[in-house]
Amino acid sequence: MKKVSPPDNIELTTNKNQEAIRMKQKSINKKISRISQDTLIVGIDLQKELIGSE
């Protein structure tokens, strides 16, 4: 029996898929950090308003 090796392009597509997943994760992380920064800014603004209204 001859050993059948998988075609070379399988590894290439896997790498491309992993790269695509990595890029998606990066963009998701950027969105999350942007949201948390916005939330922080809103929280700070609210605190300033509360302190100012006392």
How far apart (Å, rounded) are the C-alpha atoms in residues 49 and 29?
30
Radius of gyration of the chain (CA): 24
CB burial string 25-36: b at 16+ within 10 A, e below: eeeeeeeeeeee
How far apart (Å, rounded) are the C-alpha atoms in residues 34 and 28?
10
First to last CA, the chain: 86
Q: What is the reported pTM?
A: 0.55
pLDDT in tens, 1-54: 677 776 677 777 788 899 999 999 999 999 999 999 999 999 999 999 998 876
At residue 3, the pLDDT reads 79
Provide the residue ranges of all domains of the chain, joining segments of one domain with +.
30-54
